[in-house]
Amino acid sequence: VQDVVRSAGRQPKERLRSAAIVARALAIVDAEGVDGLTIRRLAQDFAVSPMALYWHFKDKAQLLDGIADRVLEEVDLRREASDEAVSWLTELRGVLEALVAAVRPHPAVATLLPSRVLTSEPGLLLAERTLALLARGGFAADRAAELGTYLIEAVVALVSAEPGRDLPAGGEAREDAARVKRASLLALSPRRFPAITAAADALAECASPDAYHALGIDMLIAGVEGIASRTSTNSKPVRR
């Protein structure tokens, strides 16, 4: 958390340059995954020596921090913030949807987020909102902490787990890969794996990513609602 202010003392021009480096690094991760990002490759894109980057970032971990920050900053928490007319559960759904919306354009970044939610400024803002809403829903502070941090990770996992997310990006190559994946599932014994072979299409590729993410959010919200009514510490009726 001491690193929350890690870019606080920089000059405007310098911050811009650091921001440009992060932007380029994020583009590389989007295109080729986290493993595709190397200091040397990134330096090459700027036609600069690899060591030049070490003036802007202490090490690679700090560069990855910057990428995670950038994505978490895109989580729009302004929607219905503290609107007392809206139920806490509806507001929570809005927060989770905002997180999905921010991460979906950068699925490869998902793996970077869990360890950084409680150490980056925008991650802390997201966690604070989530915990506060759960407290409003009647969860004790420690239960809200456990449930809230998990909810955030579960939403990140929702993006990572989208069927077909591991397929290549492009048009024809993606179709080919999807077909191969589908065929490999259909090659399984329908006697041993009836459910999987029956759902090979849906497992290989997402017919509607929007519907998939909506299903996941619905499930998580229903889950919170379910245990809230069981475990709430106060007895005031839950607002709908």
Partner DNA sequence: ACCTGAACACCGTTCAAGT
d(CA 55, CA 63): 11
Tokens read off for 80:
């219905």
127 binds a copy of itself (CB under 8 A): yes
C-alpha 169, offset from chain centre: 19
CB-based burial, 92-109: b 16+ in 10 Å, e otherwise: bbbbbbbbbebbbebbbb
DSSP state of 6: T
User: Out of 16, 48, 81, 118, which residue is the one contacting a copy of itself (CB under 8 A)?
Assistant: 118
CB 224 within 8 A of CB 134: yes
From the list DNA, a copy of itself, none, pick the one residue 144 interacts with, judged by a Cβ distance below 5 to 8 Å according to partner type.
a copy of itself
User: Out of 36, 168, 170, 226, which residue is the one contacting a copy of itself (CB under 8 A)?
Assistant: 226
Which residue's CB is nearer to DNA, number 108 or number 152?
108
| Stretch 165-204: interaction string toward a copy of itself, x if CB under 8 A | -x-----------------xx-xx---xxxxx-xx-xxx-
Which residue's CB is nearer to DNA, number 56 or number 93?
56
50 binds a copy of itself (CB under 8 A): no
Q: Residues with Cβ < 8 Å from 110, sequence gap 6 or more?
A: 103, 156, 157, 159, 160
Question: How many CB atoms neighbour CB 207 within 10 A?
Answer: 10
CB 43 within 8 A of CB 57: no
Classify 121 as helix, strand or coil. Answer: helix
Distance of closest approach, residue 55 Cβ to DNA, in angstroms = 5
Residue ranges binding DNA (CB under 7 A)? 11, 13-14, 17, 37-41, 43, 48-52, 54-56, 59-61
d(CA 33, CA 108): 5
From the list a copy of itself, DNA, none, pick the one residue 13 interacts with, judged by a Cβ distance below 5 to 8 Å according to partner type.
DNA
Enumerate binding residues for a copy of itself (CB under 8 A).
1-2, 111, 114-115, 118, 124, 127-128, 131-132, 135, 141-147, 149-150, 153-154, 156-158, 160-161, 163, 166, 184-185, 187-188, 192-196, 198-199, 201-203, 206-207, 212, 215-216, 218-227, 230
